[in-house]
Amino acid sequence: MNKFVLLIGRWSPFHLGHKYLVDSHLNAGKNVCIAVRKSKEKYNPQERVYMIESVFKKQIEDGRVEVILIPDIEGVAVGRDVGYYIARVPEEVERISGTKIRAGESWDLPKEVKEILDRWEKLRIRREKK
């Protein structure tokens, strides 16, 4: 059975900082399980899963990435070292902000996600005109 690095987040929306995090583990030869919290966000959990799957289609097909939904957790408890590690992203990556993206102040998004959000915005505008 393959081992995976577990990444837990809201991913709302899935941005370049998130992509860096996933890519850094994939580039190190690790498999990645992306756990999407069922939190109340601008984008519902299924929309966030769709964004992530659009970016990592090939890696999902190859079995290197799995995307799962989890409850909206409030904490992660870690016991003694039993064969896993805890990693942080570099400070420059931490500065990428989903809050700024949702407010329209930043567009640090993978092209696949930018295309999805542009499509959804056009649909929203069409619906509002009716």
Max intra-chain CA distance, the chain: 58
- Asked if residue 36 belongs to a domain, the reply is yes
Higher pLDDT, 125 or 16: 16
Query: Which pair of tokens denotes residue 47?
Result: 């929309």
Q: Which residue range forms the structural domain that includes residue 88?
A: 4-74+84-129
What is the pLDDT, as a whole number, of residue 83? 74
What is the pLDDT at residue 94? 86
Render pLDDT for 13-70 as a digit per residue (tens, 0 to 9).
999 999 999 999 999 999 999 999 999 999 999 999 999 999 999 999 999 999 999 9
How many separate domains does the chain show?
1
User: Would you state the pLDDT for residue 86?
Assistant: 81
Cβ–Cβ contacts within 10 Å for residue 102, how many? 15
- DSSP classification of residue 46: H
- Percent of the residues in the chain that have a pLDDT greater than 70, as a whole number: 99
- CA torsion 27-33-39-45 (nearest 10°) is 90
* Residue 79 belongs to a domain: no
68 part of a folded domain: yes
Alpha-carbon span 28 to 106, nearest angstrom:
29
Q: What does the mean pLDDT of the chain come to?
A: 91
| CATH classification at residue 19 | 3.40.50.620
